[in-house]
Amino acid sequence: MYQAAEERYQKMDYVYCGKSGLKLPEVSLGFWHNFGDTGVYENMKQICFTAFDNGITHFDLANNYGPEPGSAEKNFGRILKEEMGQHRDEMVISTKAGYLMWDGPYGDWGSRKYLLASLDQSLQRMGLDYVDIFYHHRMDPNTPLEETMGALATAVQSGKALYVGLSNYDGPTMEKAAAILKDLHCPFIINQNRYSIFDRTIEKNGLKEKAAELKKGIIAYSPLAQGLLTNRYLNGIPEDSRIMTDGRFLKKDALTEEKLMKIRALNEVAAGRGQTLAEMALSWILRDGIVTSVLVGASRPQQLLDNIKAIENTEFSEEELKKIDELSL
């Protein structure tokens, strides 16, 4: 049985998630990659152990994470049951529903039927009575927003979720959703969105500004741009890289010669700060206090240890910020 490091809470900083009583670690562990049935179970365990031993208390999943869909939740549930269950109340566990999960008209998007059925399935796969945060995973152009938000409220009222969140929403839609959830007395506290030096979508669509205005938290996924903001591609594309072995999320044409030049120049900025490129990329997201936590993945424990170093220096000079913008916008 796993024995947690006694000094784990001295290794991480914790931040209130918006105007709520829930604190999140500045670095959280995501299960989007490396926890499906194609992964090695022993490696999954060691990643989870390393995370918790270093103060990462937030574990982020979704119904469709795999491959196969659902397998990340199953594997995490097994880790909880066999090794880490005694620490459940020290963890924030989140899951989501909103993308295609099962065949037929009821296994996708944002209907009440889909969201509540999916949450029940997620709880069963993980062996839990409740999750700490339940997200709607993406905006639904067809289902009334009132229905989707009502389903999230029901998840809380039923005791199957403590808080709710929205993922991949833009600023205007999030503001409308927040008003509905407020009327329903539902604790909406967090937005999960893609955000990195190379992806400023939440700055352009108003999400970041509106979240700060409404005092809602933000957790940023893909903070390293699927590995582009690391030292992985400084000398081109390695044969064992995600581009070569799994082209679902990072395409080979994403690494143009122009992008490679920018990555190398950003690496020089990072070196000037005494950081690796990955450390700087994570620090940059946390720089202004609006983003509550960065959501990192890992294929091995050492990657987590490297990423945690980012919280040691989140202050940037105006010159550094200007240079980063010149190389990424």
Residue 105 confidence (pLDDT) above 50: yes
Number of domains observed in the structure of the chain: 1
**What is the phi/psi pair of residue 193, to 5°?**
-145, 155
Indicate if the alpha-carbon torsion angle 282, 286, 291, 293 is positive or negative: positive
Identify whether 326 is part of a domain: no
What tens digit of pLDDT does each residue of 148-202 get? 999 999 999 999 999 999 999 999 999 999 999 999 999 999 999 999 999 999 9
Average pLDDT over residues 49-75: 98
Range of the domain at 84: 8-226+289-298
d(CA 100, CA 107): 6
277-287 per-position pLDDT tens digit = 999 999 999 99
Percent of the chain with pLDDT over 90: 91
Give the length of the chain. 329
* CATH code of the domain in which 139 resides: 3.20.20.100
**91 domain-assigned:** yes
71 within 8 A of 37, measured Cβ to Cβ: yes
The confidence score (pLDDT) of residue 241 equals 61
141 in a structural domain: yes
Q: Is residue 246 part of a domain?
A: no
SS (H, E, C) the chain: CCCCCCCHHHCCCEEECCCCCCEEECEEEECCCCCCCCCCHHHHHHHHHHHHHCCCCEEECCCCCCCCCCHHHHHHHHHHHHHHHHHHHHCEEEEEECCCCCCCCCCCCCCHHHHHHHHHHHHHHHCCCCEEEEEECCCCCCCCHHHHHHHHHHHHHCCCEEEEEEECCCHHHHHHHHHHHHHCCCCEEEEEEECECCECHHHHCCHHHHHHHHCCEEEEECCCHHHCCCHHHCCCCCCCCHHHHCCCCCCHHHCCHHHHHHHHHHHHHHHHCCCCHHHHHHHHHCCCCCCCEEEECCCCHHHHHHHHHHHHCCCCCHHHHHHHHHHHC
- Considering the chain, what percentage of its residues have pLDDT values greater than 70? 95
> What is d(CA 33, CA 50) in angstroms, rounded to the nearest whole number?
17
Q: What's the maximum distance between 2 C-alpha atoms anywhere in the chain?
A: 54
- What span, in angstroms and rounded, lies between the C-alpha atoms of 27 and 220? 10
Per the listing, tokens 């998840």 go with 155
Structural domain contains residue 15: yes
Taking the complete model, does pTM exceed 0.85, yes or no? yes
Quote the pLDDT of residue 244: 46
pLDDT digits (tens, 9 = 90+) for 191-230: 999 999 999 999 999 999 999 999 999 999 999 999 999 9
Residues in contact with 293: Cβ distance below 8 Å, sequence separation at least 6, in sequence order: 15, 17, 24, 25, 26, 27, 28, 58, 217, 219, 220
Structure-block tokens of residue 173: 């839609």
- The stretch 268-297 carries a mean pLDDT of 97
Is 214 part of any domain? yes
State the Cα angle at 311 between 46 and 277, rounded to 5°. 85
Q: Is 17 within a domain? A: yes
Position 252 scores a pLDDT of 65
Q: Cα(266)–Cα(60) distance, rounded to whole angstroms?
A: 29
* Residue range 302-325: mean pLDDT, rounded: 97
14-16 and 23-25 strand pairing:
antiparallel
- Per-residue pLDDT, averaged over 47-58, amounts to 98
Question: If pLDDT is split at 50, 70 and 90, which confidence band does 117 have?
Answer: very high
Q: Could you tell me how far CA 156 lies from the centroid of its own chain?
A: 21
Contacts with 310 (C-beta within 8 Å, 6 or more apart), sequence order: 27, 275, 278, 279, 280, 281, 282, 283, 286, 294
For residues 24 and 311, the answer to whether their CB atoms sit within 8 Å is no
Q: Is residue 157 part of a domain?
A: yes
